[in-house]
Structures are given as C-alpha cells and as structure tokens.
Amino acid sequence: MSTFPAEEGLQLAAAQARTEALLRVTDGAAVAWTAPCADKARSEDALLVLPLDARNAVLAVADGMGGIPGGGAAAACAIATLAAVVEQAFAQGRALQAAILDGISRANDAVLALANGSATTLVVAELCDGAVRAYNIGDSEVIVLGQRGRLKLRTLSHSPVGFALQAGLVDHEEALHHEDRHLVSNFVGSRDMRIEVGSAVRLAAHDTVLVCSDGLVDNVRLPEIAGLLRCGRLDRGVAALAEQALARMRGAEEGAAGEHPSKPDDLTVIAFRRRPGMAVTRRLPAPRQIPLQQENL
C-alpha cells in the first residue's frame, strides 16, 4: 500500500531524506517525490505544487546547479519567489500565464540578488482549464504522456547536448551517455536568462503530466518512463519510476558497467493526472481555495 501522505499544497527545498506527498490538483491529483543524492546531506532541488482553484494550478521544479556555490539556495529562492508572486497575482485576478511569467522574472531577480554566484534551472507546468503549458529554463523537463504511452509534449533541454539532439547530431541514446550532458546554457541567476514558453496542450482524462529534474531523465529512458507512468495508479507509478532511477544511480556508485545510463544526482518528480485511480482519489484532501485578499509582497 502506498505511503504517500495527502497534502493541500507543497513547497519544498533542501530535502534531507526521501519525501513523498499526494495532493488534490484542479480536477485530478498530483504525486510529488524527492530525495537527495546518496552522498549528500541535503538535496539541491526544490519543488512546488500550488493548487489555486478547481481549474488552475502550478507545478514547478528547480534544480540548483552543481559545482556552483549555493545551488540549493538558488533553487529554494526561485521556487519561493515563484510561489509568492503567482499566488498573489492570481488572487488579484491576473491571468495565470502572466502571473507565471512575472514570477519567473522575479525569481531571476531574487537569485541575482543573492549575489553569491548561484544559479538554478527552473521548469513550470501551468494547468489551466484542462490544458497544460510548459515554461522552461535549463535542463529540468516537462513531459506529457498519453494512456498508451504516446509522447504529447517534451521540453527541450537548454544545453549543448540538448541542442545537438534537436539538430539531429546525436540520438537520444548518445545524449544519455554524452560526456557533456551535465552542462547547461540557460539558467535562473543570469542577466541573459530566457524563458521558453510552449503552446497549450489539451489533456485527456488519463494523460500524465510529468515535471522532473534531470536526475530522472539522465537515468531512465523515455520509453521506460512511459511504460511505468502511462496507466495504473499514479502513486504506484511514481514510486516505481523513482526506484528505477535510484537503482540506476546505485549502479554508478557500485562501479557496475553496463548498457543503462547511470548518473548519481538529486531526484525530484511531480506527476499529475486528471484520473489518477479511485484508490488515489479517495485519499485526496478537500479542494483548496486561495484567500481572496493577500498582503503585498
């Protein structure tokens, strides 16, 4: 039986241990799962599940850039700023897309204001009236899968390897094993940050929206992700997906050579589905409504 606790909303950074949550989101449910890399005391990922009302919500993942001081602080700062700006703007009647764009811009300013050279990726999924739109900075991803595993959306990683993949210079398998796959060319905490905004994708009842850090997609191939998430109970699918990624990471730590990708890293996954399964639906908390009046930031 799943151990995911039911929550109203979730903002989490610097996780010290495996953390799981089940949340009511618009007309469905989201499962959030995060854990630090095995050799680290705290994760440098941060996540947000922000239900706004029965039709609107925001899912986001930030991955603090490794090798740069304060990556975890940058991720936490970006997520906290995004959450505060979006919730206040939405409560004041602004369109969700405008609120998210403002939130990302303010998050970039906030990370720059830390003045410690830190940076983070940031990916956001806007859920609005039964559709999803992706906003991307860096190499964290939004993926949308149909019930039969058909890929409906995948964001492009802003990295040399990601652009090479888009240009057809490498294939997906070569990209997974590429020596430069850790490099990122666009991030929050840069005066040159750019936001890639996708088109809205209409969601069928059993489509799955996946928002994740590169700890997942660097260790588990897309067909494997689809096989675990395309159908069945959402909480069980996410748990199985996380365990698969962790097993691949342990292979690298144990020096196991083989055909599978293996890159130890922090791992963060959020998965949303409008029809997550009755066993999941029965455990959801009551719908959330944000306050109509909020103080200025």
Q: 250-274 pLDDT, tens per residue? A: 985 555 556 778 889 999 999 999 9
Burial class of residue 168 in the structure, from the number of CB atoms within 10 Å of its CB (0-12 exposed, 13-18 middle, 19+ buried): exposed
From the options 1.10.1060.10, 3.60.40.10, 3.40.50.2000, 3.30.70.260, give the CATH code of 6-281: 3.60.40.10
- Is 34 in contact with 72 (CB distance < 8 Å)? no
pLDDT at 3 over 60: no
Could you tell me how many residues make up the chain? Answer: 297
pLDDT at 161 over 70: no
Domain boundaries, the chain: 6-281
Q: What percent of the chain has pLDDT over 90?
A: 70
201: Cβ contacts below 8 Å, ≥ 6 apart: 131, 132, 133, 144, 152, 153
pLDDT digits (tens, 9 = 90+) for 129-159: 999 999 999 999 999 999 999 999 999 887 6
pLDDT digits (tens, 9 = 90+) for 70-86: 899 999 999 999 999 99
Residues 9-23: what's their mean pLDDT?
93
Q: How far is 178 from 214, CA to CA, in rounded Å?
A: 14
pLDDT at 241 over 50: yes
What letters, b where the CB count within 10 A reaches 16 and e where it falls short, cover 135-153? bbbbbbbbbbbbeebeebb
Could you give the C-alpha distances from 211 to 114, 137, 231, 289, in angstroms and in order?
A: 26, 13, 17, 23
Strands 6-7 and 19-25: parallel
pLDDT at 290 over 50: no
